[in-house]
A and B are shown apart, each in its own frame.
Chain A
Amino acid sequence: MAALHFHNVTLGYDRHPAVHHLSGEVARGALVAVIGPNGAGKSTLLRGIVGILRPLDGSIHLGGLDSRDVAYLPQSAEIDRSFPISVFDFVGTGLWRGTGLFGGIGKAARDKILRAIASVGLNGFENRPIGTLSGGQMQRVLFARVVLQDASLIVLDEPFNAIDSKTTTDLLALVKHWHGEGRTVLAALHDMEMVRSHFTETLVLARGPVAWGPTAEVLTPENLLVAMRMCEAFDDSAAACAADDASSQAA
């Protein structure tokens, strides 16, 4: 049973494709790395999966999941760090699916929030305003919120950017824990070593899919070279795309 099904998906902005003709499936419980150069369409693909961006063409199916079963950690969160909210309350927003507009936060929920904060190693930070956290601590807070969201599909956009090795190790352990719990995890990444040693499946993206499959088979110098050569700029005078469905099946 697939957790995610891409059917000839094209995603982009102003009709220009950033992800071009992607087809394929992500199995339930898979741990997938999405790699590719800057501008390859990684973030765009993830935005399409969580439903912030509507496909220009084709469709993405969430395998019967509600969009609330998806937890999304964006690359550059538009978080107002000056807003007066504590770590506890901020992480607590991850319970939205259960509480909604009015649901109370009872004893059980409070314990859950505290456990989530502890799971990212931030015990003692509960009452700190989020504005006082360092970059790495804020990333831990965002991971704690993902923990609380208890989603079956977790989408992480370059979660280890500008994060030190200690924090990366801790958070990566959390990602593998999610994998162990049978959740489906997709992560856009740049660290090839990390991908090679921790992620079972890899999608190499360069606007179009370059290769997709078991990491060991896909992560070859040839594939990476192809991805690197991708032309980044949109062609303003590009004609409408005439490619049919069969043009670039990668899966």
Chain B
Amino acid sequence: MLYDALIGPFTEFEFMRRALAAVIALSLAGAPIGVFLMLRRMSLVGDAMAHAILPGAAVGFLLSGLNLFAMTAGGLIAGFAVAILAGVVARSTGLKEDASLATFYLASLALGVTIVSIKGTNIDLLHVLFGNILAMDDQTLLVVAFNATVTLLVLAVIYRPLVIESVDPLFLRTVSRAGGPAHLAFLALVVINLVNGFQALGTLLAVGLMILPAGIARFWSRDLTAMISIAVVAAAVSGYAGLVLSFQTRVPSGPAIILVATIIYIASVLFGRVGGVVRQMFPGRHLEA
């Protein structure tokens, strides 16, 4: 029955409830960050950073096994290091930031996989690469919820300068010194949310729950607040539907969530109110003025 398919898994199994709580926390914090990444044309930066946290998490794994605190700490350190290094390389040499980030993330991915392979099994490697939201324990859930709360609080603090810096950086520079710190705080939030997503979706897909909902939102609104709300809802719906799909079909949970988000994304590209393909093909008759 429909109830059994859609709600049953969550009333019946605790791990499904935890996974649902985690995915909602991830959506609340990650989707707004994703919207800003997209608007600041940093989507691929997010992707590169996601890979960059892998060696840190892998070292944490090497030292203490599948201990999520160690892996989170390692991931945070590696993420910040790469963010700062890539920025320094781009600013002090002529190399464009995307090129230097590409270098960093490829190197990080290779290094991370190597480190995990030294100690772990293929199962561990799969876990690190694709996450396993269904295996989440209470402690991990608390970490995820804590990070999400911190993200929302910090975002509230830097929201105004972040928006102005995105639209008109020169203006912000003439009225305030908040631009630089806001940008750095934003990068820190990106890293924190990647580490957060890493627990659930693994290093390869962590950025998916940030960028895909942002892309979806772009096709439905021209207003920033509305875009953020749509992105959060899209992320949560993808998370929920992905969990159900995973439960019913044995598709791994991480890929299931991202696949659902992808389906919503494709539907938005086709039917979106703002710049969707169908809208562009059949725009209706032109207006009077």
Chain A interfacial positions (CB closer than 8 Å to B) = 50-52, 67-68, 70, 72, 74, 77-80, 83-86, 90, 93, 96-97, 100-102, 129-131, 145, 149
- Min C-beta distance of B217 to chain A, whole Å: 10
Chain B residues lying within 8 Å of A131, measured Cβ to Cβ, are: 222
B174–A67 CB distance below 8 A: yes
CA gap between A68 and B171 in the complex, in Å: 11
CA gap between A101 and B163 in the complex, in Å: 11
A52–B174 CB distance below 8 A: yes
B174–A84 CB distance below 8 A: no
A83–B167 CB distance below 8 A: yes
A83–B39 CB distance below 8 A: yes
A129–B166 CB distance below 8 A: no
CA gap between A51 and B174 in the complex, in Å: 7
A77–B161 CB distance below 8 A: no
Chain A residues lying within 8 Å of B175, measured Cβ to Cβ, are: 68, 96-97, 149
Chain A residues lying within 8 Å of B39, measured Cβ to Cβ, are: 80, 83-84
Chain B interfacial positions (CB closer than 8 Å to A) = 39, 157, 160-161, 163-164, 166-171, 173-176, 178, 221-224, 227
Top 8 A-B residue pairs of the complex, sorted by shortest distance between their CB atoms: A83-B167, A96-B175, A79-B168, A72-B174, A84-B224, A129-B222, A84-B222, A78-B170
- Min C-beta distance of B200 to chain A, whole Å: 29
Chain B residues lying within 8 Å of A50, measured Cβ to Cβ, are: 174
A70–B174 CB distance below 8 A: yes
In the complex, the chain B residue whose C-beta lies closest to that of A127 is: B223
CA gap between A246 and B161 in the complex, in Å: 44
Determine which of A52, A80, A96, A100 lies in contact with B167 in the assembled complex, contact meaning CB atoms within 8 Å: A80
Interchain residue pairs with CB less than 8 A apart (10) = A67-B174, A74-B170, A83-B39, A84-B223, A84-B224, A85-B163, A85-B224, A93-B168, A96-B164, A97-B175
CA gap between A90 and B222 in the complex, in Å: 14
Chain A residues lying within 8 Å of B164, measured Cβ to Cβ, are: 93, 96
Chain A residues lying within 8 Å of B176, measured Cβ to Cβ, are: 68, 96, 100
In the complex, the chain A residue whose C-beta lies closest to that of B175 is: A96
Interface of chain B: mostly helix, strand, loop or mixed: helix
Chain A residues lying within 8 Å of B224, measured Cβ to Cβ, are: 83-85
In the complex, the chain B residue whose C-beta lies closest to that of A86 is: B223
Chain A residues lying within 8 Å of B221, measured Cβ to Cβ, are: 84
CA gap between A100 and B164 in the complex, in Å: 12
CA gap between A1 and B176 in the complex, in Å: 26
B157–A90 CB distance below 8 A: no
Chain B residues lying within 8 Å of A51, measured Cβ to Cβ, are: 174
In the complex, the chain B residue whose C-beta lies closest to that of A103 is: B160
Chain A residues lying within 8 Å of B178, measured Cβ to Cβ, are: 101
- Min C-beta distance of A236 to chain B, whole Å: 19
Q: Please name 19 further chain A to chain B contacts, defined as beta carbons within 8 Å, in addition to the given A83-B167, A85-B224, A101-B160, sorted by A numbering.
A: A51-B174, A52-B174, A67-B174, A68-B176, A70-B174, A72-B174, A79-B167, A80-B166, A80-B167, A84-B39, A84-B221, A84-B223, A84-B224, A93-B168, A93-B171, A101-B161, A129-B222, A130-B167, A145-B171
B171–A77 CB distance below 8 A: yes
In the complex, the chain B residue whose C-beta lies closest to that of A149 is: B175
- Min C-beta distance of B119 to chain A, whole Å: 46
Chain A residues lying within 8 Å of B171, measured Cβ to Cβ, are: 72, 77, 93, 145
In the complex, the chain B residue whose C-beta lies closest to that of A67 is: B174
B166–A83 CB distance below 8 A: yes
CA gap between A50 and B174 in the complex, in Å: 7
- Min C-beta distance of A124 to chain B, whole Å: 12
Chain A residues lying within 8 Å of B169, measured Cβ to Cβ, are: 78
In the complex, the chain A residue whose C-beta lies closest to that of B171 is: A93
- Min C-beta distance of B51 to chain A, whole Å: 27
CA gap between A131 and B164 in the complex, in Å: 15
CA gap between A77 and B171 in the complex, in Å: 8
Chain B residues lying within 8 Å of A97, measured Cβ to Cβ, are: 175
Chain B residues lying within 8 Å of A100, measured Cβ to Cβ, are: 176
B168–A77 CB distance below 8 A: yes
CA gap between A83 and B36 in the complex, in Å: 10
- Min C-beta distance of B163 to chain A, whole Å: 7
- Min C-beta distance of B101 to chain A, whole Å: 20
CA gap between A52 and B179 in the complex, in Å: 13
- Min C-beta distance of B92 to chain A, whole Å: 16
CA gap between A70 and B173 in the complex, in Å: 12
- Min C-beta distance of B231 to chain A, whole Å: 12
CA gap between A50 and B168 in the complex, in Å: 16
Chain A residues lying within 8 Å of B170, measured Cβ to Cβ, are: 52, 74, 77-78
